[in-house]
Amino acid sequence: MTGLLVGYARVSTDKQDSTSQRDALTAAGVAPGLLYVDEGLTGSTRARPALREAMAACRAGDTLMVTRLDRLARSVPDARDLVDELTRKGVRLRIGESVHDPEDPTGWLLFNALAMVAEFEADLIRARTREGMRVAKAKGKLRGKKPKLTAAVEGHLVAEYHGGDYSINELARRYDVGVATVYRAVERAAQKTPAAAVTLALPRADI
């Protein structure tokens, strides 16, 4: 195999370890200076600095190596775009022990099959995540963001608003929250107490 062997590895989160990918690429003959790693980046985004560096490091006759296709891309269109770019540069793609040859119809067919499998696996993971969140929510284990104000504090805020001593902006500064939070608190109070809706419908001009 002529040319240089350029390696690329990726892990989706900072908590994942790229050591196994690094070791496999190094064992295959990738030199330390030609090993590029993206950490904490999903394959669904093309904004991967190390990938761009790896692609830029490849010259005609070189080979870009990844341990698995889903480390390079997580969708069929993305994988095809990357391979097309490599092909235009005269660079081959090696996935594990298999070298993709764009001039070989069988190799191109196998590559597309791998890309579809990688995309299918990514879709399954997303589906399982959504299902897990639905189940957790149904069991009361998944809750929204913690309210910025407790019920008691929110009650004081609304009372001061209706007391007329403070404007919306002043209340926001006084309670260290955003103006939108103050408005939402007043709206919630208005829904609980119809009489308060009159005050809410005709807000005072902020000072």
Please, are residues 108 and 80 in contact by the beta-carbon 8 Å criterion?
no
Nearest to 26 by CA among 50, 7, 11: 7
CA dist 167 and 169 (Å) reads 5
CA dist 172 and 181 (Å) reads 8
Burial 66-99, CB ≥16 within 10 A → b, else e:
bbebbbbbbbbebbeebbeebeeeebbbbbeeee
Give catalytic status of residue 44 as yes or no: no
CA dist 157 and 19 (Å) reads 53
State the Cα torsion 27-105-112-107 to the nearest 10°.
-10
Of 12, 18, 75, 167, the catalytic one is 12
Tokens 């341990």 correspond to 67
Instruction: Indicate which residues carry an active-site annotation.
Output: 12
